Amino acid sequence: MVKRLAAVLTVLTFLILSFAFPDRAHADEKIAVLDFKSILAPTDLGLAVAEILRTELSSLGGYTVIERGMLEQLVQEQALQMSGIVDSETAVKIGKLIGANLVVTGSVVKTGQTYTINSRFVDVETGIIKDGRNIRGSGEDQISAMVHELALTITGKTGESADLTADKDSPTVYIDDFSHGIDTQVWRTESNQRFYTIDDQKGSVRFAKGRKGDNSFQTVGLVFLRQIQGDFDVRIGFRDARIAVLDGAPGNQIELKISFGGQLFIIVYSDEPWLGGHNVHIWADPPRSILGTRKLKVNAGTLRITRKGTLVTGFFNQDVIFSNQFSTEPIDLLSFSLNNNGTKDATSVIFDDFYLSCDRMIP
C-alpha cells in the first residue's frame, strides 16, 4: 500500500494571506523545511522540491533557513520523521529542538501530467497549523515556478512576481494515511460505548469491540473538525472488516457520513439480515429511507461520497450506489465509524487512506 500523507491545502486571497502571514521581514526568525513526500511521482522529486524551497526562501529573505544537514542530524538523533506531512505535534517538536519559528511540511502528487505541491505551515510557538497552499502545474518543468510561488506565500510577498503558475481555482485537498496516528487538531474521536477499543499505532485506525455491550445503537468513529464548502470528493478505505450479525438486530455497519443543510447522507456497508445480509446502501434523511441497496460480501473496500453542484453521489469502490439532487449547503459534519446497531456482536474494522478534495475548507 502506498502510504499517503496528511496535508491541509488551501488557496487564499492576498488579503487572507496578509492576515495569516504578517510582515515576515524578520531575519532572526528561523524556518525549517522538512523533506516533501512524493506520491505517484519519482521518489527524489519531493526531496528536490524541499531543497528548491529552502534556496528560494534564502533568496527572498525574511527568514533564516535551517540547512537540511542540521535537520537530518537532529532527526536521526531523535528518531523522528523528516519526510512527508508529519503530524503537528512532531513538527512542533522538531521546530523546538532546532530553534525554528515555522515548520513547513508537504507532498508532491502526480496525477496524469499534472503535478500538485501540497503544503502546510506549523507555527512552533502556538502549535497552530496555518493554511497551506495547493499549487498545481501542467508538467514537471513548472515545478521550480510552483515552488517559487510557495516561497512567496510563506514570506508574505505574493503578488511581487508575475511569473506564477499556481491554479488559483484548484481545490483544497486533505490526505491522511494515519501513519502518525490520529491528529487531534483535525479529528475528534467519538463513541457512546466504553467497550470499543481504538488502535492508531500501526499506520491506520482500528476500531474493535468484543462480544459485550447491549442491544442499543453503539458506535465509535472519527469526526472531521473542518467545515467543507462547495463541491467535494471524500473517501475512506477499510479492510479486515468483521461485522457478521450473530446476536441482535438490525445489524452491524461500517459507514461514511456527511450532513449539510439538515440533510443526512450516509454510504453504508453492513450485515443486516432484513436487507438480505451483507450489502452496501445509502441512508438519506430526509426522506429517512434506504436507497440503492446492493448485496455484496467483502471485507475491504472504499466508501466514497461526491458532490458536483447539487448532484450528490455515493460510491462503493468505483460503483455508483445512489445519486440524486440535494442542496449546496456547507458540510457541517463528516465522519466515518463502526456501528453495532442493536447487536452485542464482536466487531472490528481497520480504516486507512482518508482523502478529501473540496472547493473550500474552513477551520
Write out the residue limits of the CATH 2.60.120.200 domain(s) in the chain: 187-362
Q: Which of these, 219, 210, 185, lies nearest to 363 by C-alpha position?
A: 185
Q: What is the DSSP letter of 219?
A: E
Backbone angles phi, psi at 5, to 5 degrees: -125, 160
Say if residue 132 is exposed, middle or buried (CB neighbours under 10 Å; 0-12, 13-18, 19+): buried
Q: What is the pTM of this model?
A: 0.60
| Res 167 pLDDT > 60 | no
| pLDDT, mean of residues 8-14 | 33
Residue 72 or residue 289, greater confidence: 289
Supply the CATH classification number for the domain 187-362. Answer: 2.60.120.200
The reported pLDDT for the residue numbered 253 is 97
Strands 30-33 and 64-65: parallel
Residue 126 confidence (pLDDT) above 70: yes
At 216-228, the pLDDT tens digits run 999 999 999 989 9
Higher per-residue pLDDT: 327 or 127? 327
Tell me if residue 136 falls in helix, strand or coil.
Answer: strand
Asked whether the predicted pLDDT for residue 119 surpasses 90, the reply is no
For CATH 3.40.50.10070, the residue range(s) in the chain are 14-170
Instruction: Encode pLDDT of 316-355 as tens digits.
Output: 998 999 999 999 999 999 999 999 999 999 999 999 989 8
Find where cell 447487536 sits: 343
Q: Quick one: which of 261, 247, 234, 266 has its CA closest to 341?
A: 247
Could you name the CATH architecture of 14-170? 3-Layer(aba) Sandwich (3.40)
